[in-house]
Homo-oligomer: A and B are copies of this chain.
Amino acid sequence: MSLIAQLRKQNPVVLTVANMVTPADVANGLNVLGASPIMSKAPEEAEDMVKIAQVVTINLGTVEAAQRKEMLAVMDAAQFLEVPAVFDPVACAGSAYRTQVANELLNKYHFACIRGNAGEIAALAGIDWQSHGIDAGSGDGDLTAIAQKCAQKYQTVVAMTGAVDIITDGQKVIKVPFGSPLFAVHVGTGDMLSSIIAAFIGLGGSVLEAAATACEVFALAGQAAANKTQMPSRWYDMFLDNLYQADDQLIAAWQTELQKED
């Protein structure tokens, strides 16, 4: 059975430690794909929440002292209960504080996957990169090599997303050449993707395949919507509705019909 079919059948529970800006988008993105979103802010219930989850996502987007404690409590439980986790290092190079929390999490825990843009992944890999707010920024260097270096450093799967998504376990590389610039216009699509990658990982198979499949379904649904409209609000609605409808047949049709980015 394909991963998307498994997702709709197994309805994995995804516990997201979310940022304050886009939790509704993250939850709705999981919902339309058939996963079950849960969110929590209380360290007191971290272990109980992890127990009912198949997978955890940690989002660095608006971390502060209380949420850092929540992240540690959730990851302690996830490590103990052997529940896989995804890390979204939002703007991790944007402040010394974020860098510090990101390093603390990465040094203390193993993540099955890290999902970020090129600037974030480069920063984690220890490569100098011009970052501009929460955007990817610009920089030189072979993106694939950066993603691989980051994956090797943290013994994880890296999903570096952008015009072309690069998913790698440090050796093998899968590229997803679909997408749309409209993803960058709607705030929170990156946060959604991180939790959707988690949902696929929660099925229990290969992490590399799970992450690549999540990126591909996400990018195809968005590009198919962008073929119908270039207006961001209409696009976002059609994108979500495409995710809701996505099955083997529709995904195969999108793969055939959509123009790949060079």
What is the interface of chain A, defined by CB distance below 8 A to chain B? Answer: 13, 18-25, 27-28, 31-32, 36-45, 48-49, 52, 61-67, 70, 91, 94-98, 132-135, 184-188, 231-234, 236-238, 240-241, 244-245
Contact = CB atoms under 8 A, between A and B. Distances in A.
A177 to B, nearest CB: 24
A19 B18 CA distance: 12
4 nearest A-B pairs in the assembled complex, by CB-CB distance: A48-B95, A45-B95, A233-B237, A42-B64
Given A132-B13, A185-B31, A91 B231 contact: no
Contacts of A184: 31
B49 A94 contact: yes
Copies of this chain present in the complex amount to 3
Contacts of A43: 64
30 contacts: A13-B133, A20-B23, A20-B41, A21-B27, A21-B39, A22-B24, A24-B188, A31-B232, A36-B132, A36-B134, A37-B133, A38-B94, A38-B134, A40-B62, A40-B64, A41-B62, A41-B67, A42-B63, A43-B64, A44-B65, A44-B96, A45-B95, A45-B96, A45-B97, A45-B98, A48-B94, A48-B97, A52-B133, A64-B66, A231-B244
A39 B62 contact: yes
A132 B53 CA distance: 10
B96 A48 contact: yes
